[in-house]
Chains A and B, each alone.
Chain A
């Protein structure tokens, strides 16, 4: 089992993609109603798009047989115009094309007739591509294209621009991670003026930065922090125990930073989130 991908879409959803073909665990309020799974020898890809935000681009996640995971989004693709292989299904079309500028691409047309193109760097020999069968799928009924191209040979052109965090497998088992993800999903439910002080909805960027920060400083036994929304759309992570007050603030302005106080000695620190990781780990070890 390799790392898994905690990712954001252009909407305010998070999805925890598992290593099992066809399985997507939505986190947040919008279900992922469409997905396609292409299986090959020891590998598969998933195309995920949240149904309630139909303008969002699909994302392809490729897991190789060694468990490593990659993804690619459609931002990297321009016109595909050469060497087209076309197939039509009952519900939408899947096209495999060769882009004269960018190499092989896959185009997906959804039920609304919109197309999304996905760049595929390999395999170079399109005769190996066998993704002619298409199906309509729902979250509860993911589908599989048997006999598809051996995508374990594919390379992914680039990573998308979405904030994305790789979550190590062992972290997924920890209590603090489960609690943090559940809490962040709650925060995404907060709308405009959630605090009565003109509070803004929580920004995905700040939430994911907070998760990334926790991944750097937490050990499996570290107590879960309190995760508090801020009026400007930021997130604050807090511990108040063991004689320590620790707060990490994730916002857009210069408020972003780290604060702690050791209550016995009265010593305080207020500064950057970067460069303080070792000291913070040492402090957090005191409250395990």
Chain B
């Protein structure tokens, strides 16, 4: 059963999502790199909750977990809710401990237009270095 929206998570909370290098694309329309919409296909989309990290005074980089070669973007909880998504705190221990783990979930099939809004609205928190060429090409 999909998690229900947790109103205890403030609208202003950043929701961090890891970005594998293979899912970075160059958006020439926006003039910048961004995650592919393919990053936002999961029905229950794992995120790390900023407010929970703050409770433990964690560094931003720790949101990457063991994937320190990945990058990190954030979306705002208010935005996710405006897209008919529930935001829930779902601490996890598998595959690694992440007490600030959360889920963003909504339609069983998130429409591509919605994924695109997630992708273009997301903001880099840990971004690819200067000169990074996305392996995706294009």
Q: Which residues of A contact B (CB under 8 A)?
A: 179-180, 183, 186-187, 190, 193-197, 199, 223-232, 236, 238-245, 247, 249, 254-255, 257, 259, 261, 263, 268, 270
Contact = CB atoms under 8 A, between A and B. Distances in A.
B90 interface: no
A224 B67 CA distance: 29
A227 B116 CA distance: 16
A241 B28 contact: yes
Of residues B41, B67, B111, B112, which shows the largest number of chain A Cβ atoms within 10 Å of its Cβ? B112
A228 B41 contact: no
A131 to B, nearest CB: 44
B29 interface: yes
B28 A226 contact: no
Contacts of A183: 135-137
Contacts of A243: 29
Contact of A179 (B41, B46, B109, B137): B137
A270 B137 contact: no
Contact of A259 (B29, B41, B112): B112
Q: At the interface, is chain A mostly helix, strand, loop or mixed?
A: mixed
Which of B18, B22, B46, B65 counts the most chain A CB atoms within 10 A? B22
Query: Which of the listed residues A190, A193, A245 has the most CB atoms from chain B within 10 Å of its own CB?
Result: A245
A199 B138 CA distance: 22
Interface string B122-138: 00000000000011111
B36 interface: yes
Interface residues of B, number: 31
Given A183-B136, A240-B29, A228 B112 contact: no
B28 A195 contact: no
Given A194-B20, A197-B46, A241-B28, A226 B137 contact: yes
B22 A223 contact: no
A100 to B, nearest CB: 53
Given A230-B38, A231-B38, A231-B41, 19 more contacts: A195-B20, A196-B20, A196-B65, A196-B67, A196-B70, A199-B20, A223-B138, A225-B137, A226-B137, A227-B138, A228-B136, A229-B38, A238-B36, A240-B26, A241-B29, A242-B28, A245-B27, A247-B37, A249-B38
B22 to A, nearest CB: 5
A237 to B, nearest CB: 9
A245 B138 contact: no
A228 B22 contact: yes
A225 B134 CA distance: 12
Nearest to A270: B112
A87 to B, nearest CB: 49
A226 B109 contact: no
Contact of A240 (B28, B70, B112): B28
B53 interface: no
